[in-house]
Structure 1
Amino acid sequence: MNLLPPNTTQLEKKITEVSASAFNLNGDLSSLIRIDDAPSDYLSILAWQFSVDRWQDDWPDEVKRAQIKNSIKVHQHKGTNYALRKIVESFGFSLQVHEWWQETPMSQPGTFQITIETNGHSLSEKTSKILVELLKDAKPLTRELKGIEVNVIDIKGETNIAAAMYCGEDVTIYPKIDDPNSLIYPVFAFYEIEITSIYPR
């Protein structure tokens, strides 16, 4: 269908024919706003639309989509442990919150600590910094985050371990020598004498 006016020049017709392919959108436009179906190039636009606080272009697509999905829930529950948990879960990690009264001995009132389990997922230095910034953005303003502990699961692999032990004892044997003191026996003697003199009357 040609919508050009009758007085269109030949040049304008040629331009229209060449540029028609660039505007030929045969795809489903609604897929561009569906997080699971949107192409990778559109995820940054969706992140802006859903007010994602922090964004990293080199994140895997699944992390990007999870960040976008959780953004609304994080904004709705900012300042709660639920928001912190949703942020961490969007990376594939799990979170445990330790309140001040749960510590032994009790910590300073109004403080808390968190422990993050990576669950076998990779965690780069850049991602860890962004994760900390996200947690600080979403934490309760009236409480102090004392520390963040990140536990990385050990990578399984074959390890060869060798152990050796050397133990010895030097023993010197000398010929038997008679002890000259062995023939001396202690002898104890007691001698007492008493003299009685008797005179006539």
Structure 2
Amino acid sequence: MTTLLPPNSTELEYKLEIAKSAETNLERRLNSMINVDSIPDVFLDFLAVQLSVDYWRFDWMPSLKRSRLKQAFDQHRKKGTPYAIKKALEPFGYAVKLVEWWQTNPVGIPGTFYLELDLVGKELTKETYKEVNRLIDETKPASRRISSVNITSNPVLNMGNIIAMQDSIIFECNPGP
């Protein structure tokens, strides 16, 4: 058994630690508090601070919070890459296609990229647009800038037992220099 006691502890202190360890099992409790799937919902916000999750909202559903927590380490490793931008938007249900300047025909302006974002049945609102821009800005490399964002929204129309897809709405944004 590993101990938290200093080397100059008495025999009595060691025996008390052994007696208490069976009852408290601190290591097991700490591991359960770090496991994203088993942590109680009320502690998710604290775990987000501990894992330095870049974008977090307290009003999210616990399932979305857990999803963001599971991605935190991977996102920090890959921050500033196209992969990170895609992963930042996917938990919200968006399909993302990122094209960098050297992948376009003709070749675009060096250091730029554009996004094609499909909201997959979600409505395009001002809040959604602000959220998308914030996520992109927080995860993109500092040396890159967006040349344009094409957002496609196919709202789902629910009429009783019938679900119909409405016409697609495409919003294009060309940010300035």
SS at match of 1:89: helix
Per the TM alignment, residue 117 of structure 1 is displaced from its structure 2 partner at its CA by 1.9
What runs of 5+ residues in structure 2 fail to find an aligned partner?
A: 1-23, 163-177
Per the TM alignment, residue 38 of structure 1 is displaced from its structure 2 partner at its CA by 1.7
Aligned to 1:80: 81
Aligned to 2:174: none
Per the TM alignment, residue 105 of structure 1 is displaced from its structure 2 partner at its CA by 4.2
Alignment of 1:188-199 (within 5 A): none
Aligned to 1:92: 93
Relative to the length of structure 2, the TM-score reads 0.63
Structure 1: how far apart are the matches of 2:94 and 2:100? 20
Code of the aligned partner of 1:70: Q
Paired positions, count:
133
Aligned to 1:140: 141
Code of the aligned partner of 1:101: W
Alignment of 1:10-159 (within 5 A): 29=29, 30-121=31-122, 125-126=126-127, 128-157=129-158
Code of the aligned partner of 2:100: E
What runs of 5+ residues in structure 1 fail to find an aligned partner?
A: 1-24, 160-201
Give yes or no for contact 2:122–2:156 (8 Å, CA) kept in 1.
Answer: no
SS at match of 2:63: helix
Compared with structure 1, are the counterparts of its residues 122 and 76 closer, same or farther at alpha carbon in structure 2 (3 Å cutoff)? farther
SS at match of 1:79: coil
Q: Decide which structure has greater helix share.
A: 2
Code of the aligned partner of 2:135: L
Q: Decide which structure has greater strand share.
A: 2
Aligned to 1:190: none
Relative to the length of structure 1, the TM-score reads 0.57
Compared with structure 1, are the counterparts of its residues 57 and 123 closer, same or farther at alpha carbon in structure 2 (3 Å cutoff)? farther
Per the TM alignment, residue 68 of structure 1 is displaced from its structure 2 partner at its CA by 1.1
Compared with structure 1, are the counterparts of its residues 67 and 125 closer, same or farther at alpha carbon in structure 2 (3 Å cutoff)? farther
Structure 2: how far apart are the matches of 1:64 and 1:83? 17
Q: CA offsets per residue over residues 139-167 of structure 1, 9 Å max, x none?
A: 122221122232222213459xxxxxxxx
Give yes or no for contact 2:95–2:118 (8 Å, CA) kept in 1.
Answer: yes
SS at match of 2:137: helix
Superposition RMSD in Å: 2.6
Give yes or no for contact 1:66–1:91 (8 Å, CA) kept in 2.
Answer: no
Percent identity between matched residues is 33
Give yes or no for contact 1:92–1:118 (8 Å, CA) kept in 2.
Answer: yes
Which moved further from structure 2: 122-131 or 46-55? Answer: 122-131
